[in-house]
Amino acid sequence: MMMYDIIIVGAGISGTSFAKKISKYAKTLIIEKEQSIHINTNIFPAHNNPYIDDIILKNQNIFPKDHIKTNYLGKEINGIIDSEEFGKPLGKIVHTEVLIDTLIKKFQDNGGTINFDERVKLINRSENKIEVLTSKNTYYCKLLVLSTGSNDFELQKSIGFNLPDTFSGIFTNIYANDDIITNNFDFEYIFHLNPQISTNGPFYFNIGKGRISLGFLGNSNESKEELKIKLEKILQNYNPIKPYLEKLKWNKSSYITCKVSKHPINTFSQDRIVVLGEAAGLVTSFFYEGILPGLLSADLAVNTIKPILNNDHNFSEVNLNKYDLQINKILLKNYYKNGLACEYLFYNSNHKIMNTIWDTYTKLINENKRLRKEICEAYWLDDIATYDLDRDKWAGEQLFKQLPTISKISLGPKFLKALLKF
């Protein structure tokens, strides 16, 4: 019988960071349905650093660039955050598949096993163990960790977990000589809102070394084909991004449609099962920031599970509930509320309102040094639990003051309701 202490389903950032840490204390298996880890270039704010080893953080193959500037791209005025104004980078740019591969190597050094190209199809729970049936084998474990992202909701539904809200997105990786990239981009990250692209998420560029990831997130009702046609049209014809695409070549066949989820589910653990990262809806509602919650939820799960491994291996719901409490206390109580308020304010309105609020915001960033500093400080936070929501209330007031007079009257109630999200 193939028996493990812990089986982890899914080798994304949450599953592999959990695996690397817990494999020192438990016989652990990761099961991943894909043959290898997909290429992606992401932003990695400095507030993620506490959850990653220093040696990994200094590895330039994983983190090839500092994240120095963000361009909150407006239609007329760009809101530029240049962290050099305040003395230190916002974080790093991560070549995410290299990070995940490194975490997997460390996991294997600790004695862990990973099986690629094997899909978990069914989970059966009995009183003292869990049976995991895959496309190739049957395994058993004392504790199951689901870190399946937005990829397999049937699995988590079948064992009684709720599902987060899920949206569609599309992105592509563009490869280019670094001279061209440096020439085109004076920023490492571009975040742009346009309701004609998505009413529920950004169009973005993440600028890596020798490569760029770009795309948009947050659509709910467009088919894969429609998303591909729309991305092609944007890359061909959308004036605000034209200068950035000069001399770059993209390939329609490399467009990747994806799902992205947000809004946390109500419970993150049950008897013998824990859910990490995006599968639990742990992605911020405005920026779609998922690496922090992935790393943090993995860390909090280790804090809960390690003492149980050292004690009696009793992974009851009562014993695992500390994980839920910690997620609520550290992630959801403060930091997440910023995302909820911004989501309410910036997304899902009629197109005119969305444009007015976004254009006012990009202008305000340029004009208001304190706002630029507050944004930098949110990137730098050492301890996410101490995130101060007063900074958002203040920013909301500044934004409201800056609105055209006519919009102030119509949007007053919306701003007041956004305050209630805190």
Ligand X SMILES: Cc1cc2nc3c(=O)[nH]c(=O)nc-3n(C[C@H](O)[C@H](O)[C@H](O)COP(=O)(O)OP(=O)(O)OC[C@H]3O[C@@H](n4cnc5c(N)ncnc54)[C@H](O)[C@@H]3O)c2cc1C
Is the CB of 15 or the CB of 339 nearer to ligand X?
15
Considering the complex, what minimum distance in angstroms separates the CB of residue 191 from ligand X?
Answer: 10
Contact 226, 169 (CB under 8 A): no
Among 28, 83, 151, 184, binds ligand X (CB under 6 A): 151
Of 68-76, 242-250, 286-294, 333-341, the window that binds ligand X (rule: CB under 6 A) is 286-294
Q: How far is the CB of 29 from ligand X (least distance, A)?
A: 11
Q: Which residue has the tokens 């799960």?
A: 301
Q: Which two tokens stand for residue 399?
A: 């934004």
Any contact of residue 91 with ligand X (CB under 6 A)?
no
351 burial type by CB count under 10 A (0-12 exposed, 13-18 middle, 19+ buried): exposed
User: What is the closest distance, in whole angstroms, from the C-beta atom of residue 330 to ligand X in the complex?
Assistant: 16
Determine if 93 is a binding residue for ligand X (CB under 6 A): no
Which residue's structure tokens are 């949110």?
378
Q: Considering the rule CB under 6 A, would residue 257 count as an interface residue with ligand X?
A: no
The string of DSSP letters for 151-165 reads: S-HHHHHHTT----E
Is 19 a residue that touches ligand X (CB under 6 A)?
Answer: no
**337: DSSP letter:** H
Contact by Cβ (8 Å): 206, 188: yes
Residue that is written with structure tokens 């599970």 in the block: 305
* Sign of the CA dihedral with 71 first, then 72, 77, and 83 last: negative
The minimum distance between CB 100 and ligand X, in angstroms, equals 8
Q: Binding to ligand X by residue 119, rule CB under 6 A?
A: yes
Q: Provide the terminal-to-terminal Cα distance of the chain, rounded to the nearest Å.
A: 50
| Least distance CB 172 / ligand X (angstroms) | 10
What is the closest distance, in whole angstroms, from the C-beta atom of residue 17 to ligand X in the complex? 8
**Residue closer to ligand X, measured from CB, 125 or 363:** 125
With contacts defined by CB under 6 A, how many residues of the chain interact with ligand X? 38
Residue 218, helix vs strand vs coil: strand
- Which residues lie near ligand X (CB under 6 A)? 9-15, 31-34, 42-43, 119-120, 147-149, 151-152, 155, 169, 171, 206, 215, 217, 258, 260, 277-279, 283, 288-292, 294
